[in-house]
Amino acid sequence: MLYRKMPKNGDELSILGFGCMRLPVKEDGSIDEERATKQVRYAIDHGVNYVDTAWPYHGGQSELFLGRALADGYRRKVKLATKLPTWLLKSRKDMDHFMNAQLERLNTDHIDYYLVHALLGELWDNVETLGIADFLDGAKADGRITNAGFSFHGAGKDFNRIVDAYDWDFCQIQYNFLDEKNQAGTDGLEYAASKGLGVVIMEPLRGGNLTSPVPPAVKDIWDEATTKRTPAEWALRWVWNHPEVTVILSGMNEETHIEENLTVADNAYPNSLTKAELQLVKKVERKYRELMKVGCTGCRYCMPCPSGVNIPFCFEDYNNLYMSGDAEGAKFHYAVRLSGVLSVGEPEFASRCVQCGECLEKCPQHIDIPTILESVVEELEGPDLEKRVAMAKQVFKKT
């Protein structure tokens, strides 16, 4: 296992962290606790020292599970990360309420890395008004947390202002070779690192889209490589190749994935991919973009839509539907993200489009936005949308 230094405090963190959002589950959907505990402890025994969870994961069960899985001396072997559920906050007092409940759930007296969860620009404005800076300062001072950070899912334009708005120790961003220009992107990664923040990466495999199933045309390109690697290894190595990256979180729920990731983390040094290898990844990226249904780059020039449609998110989920082949997963993701469950805002579904055409001339990719939104409605909404939204609320509004 390789380790990289957290810039502000010098912590040596394993470059592979264990993410507890997608733990193995039983037939009834509950966490397979025996198997998951073995997996977490196996990873720790093999060098992983950063474990990440959050309030809503597994309907609130992930933190409770981890509290038990890290017994028997495992808690002191790791830096523990969890997140404040920003979308549930109504007051400054709520922040203490959630953190204190999390300490109890996790069976610990402190959280090493505490994140303000899933920030978007407007969500940040809300928590800032509610007094997040005072809350984090207080929690650090009284020892309930050691480091303060935030995780980000918003538009690139909001990332830098959030980085600059507080004396953060670290941040967590989505990053992979298809998201260089999406959300925080490469610019955000470099900006955060330039400000001395450690950067934890989530979704290095884009929620599994870069690994299963790999379209034949993409497989053909990977097969051209002189050094043979699996698509997962290529994707992870590409992220670790960036010296600004501190830790990659991987939601590993198969023993074989854990083995593979641990092996790659033994020698994934920064700047270790050759020029030819980087060109190969670029070629794969181009192929994926050809295969995508919509050539949306996530630039957001079309936003805001006067009817409240989140155009780039609609298109991202629509592309994921075609890249992953996992219709149920893509539909649930769409329901969670566009329903407003995770934000203080209104629903942003494609079905809110009134075909006014205002966005058309703003798109540098010349995408026929209103027409494609009709297909999004057809394929990602349908009669079950309300049921999925209700399910998402059940999962994410749990207190």
Q: Which of these segments, 17-25, 231-239, 341-349, 366-374, binds ligand SF4 (CB under 6 A)?
A: 366-374
**Does 363 contact ligand SF4 by CB under 6 A?**
yes
**Does 154 contact ligand SF4 by CB under 6 A?**
no
**Contact present, 103 and 111 (Cβ < 8 Å):** yes
**Does 326 contact ligand SF4 by CB under 6 A?**
no
**Contact present, 98 and 55 (Cβ < 8 Å):** yes
**Does 307 contact ligand SF4 by CB under 6 A?**
yes
Distance (Å, whole) CA 25 – CA 251: 13
In the DSSP assignment, the letter for residue 304 is: P
At position 289, the amino acid (one-letter code) is: R
**Does 204 contact ligand SF4 by CB under 6 A?**
no
Q: Which of these segments, 19-27, 92-100, 173-181, 309-317, binds ligand SF4 (CB under 6 A)?
A: 309-317
Tell the burial category of 205 from Cβ atoms under 10 Å away from its Cβ (0-12, 13-18, 19+). Answer: buried
**Does 296 contact ligand SF4 by CB under 6 A?**
yes
41/300 with CB nearer ligand SF4:
300
**Does 155 contact ligand SF4 by CB under 6 A?**
no
For residue 105, give the nearest of 59, 63, 54, 53 by alpha carbon.
63
Q: How many Cβ atoms sit within 10 Å of the Cβ of residue 248? A: 28
214/311 with CB nearer ligand SF4:
311
**Does 382 contact ligand SF4 by CB under 6 A?**
no
x-or-dash pattern for ligand SF4, window 244-283, by CB under 6 A? ----------------------------------------
At position 121, the amino acid (one-letter code) is: G
In the DSSP assignment, the letter for residue 87 is: G
Q: Could you tell me how many residues of this chain bind ligand SF4 (CB under 6 A)?
A: 28
Q: Give start and end residues of each alpha helix (H) in the chain.
A: 33-45, 61-69, 92-105, 121-130, 132-141, 156-165, 185-194, 216-222, 231-240, 255-264, 275-291, 311-324, 327-338, 369-376, 385-396
**Does 120 contact ligand SF4 by CB under 6 A?**
no
Q: Residue 297 Cβ, how far from ligand SF4 at the closest point, in Å?
A: 5
**Does 178 contact ligand SF4 by CB under 6 A?**
no
Say if strands 170-174 and 145-152 run parallel, antiparallel, or are unpaired.
Answer: parallel
68/181 with CB nearer ligand SF4:
181
**Contact present, 338 and 310 (Cβ < 8 Å):** yes
25/363 with CB nearer ligand SF4:
363
Q: Residue 87 Cβ, how far from ligand SF4 at the closest point, in Å?
A: 23
Where does this chain bind ligand SF4 (CB under 6 A)?
296-302, 305-307, 309, 311-312, 315, 353-359, 362-363, 365, 367, 369-370, 373
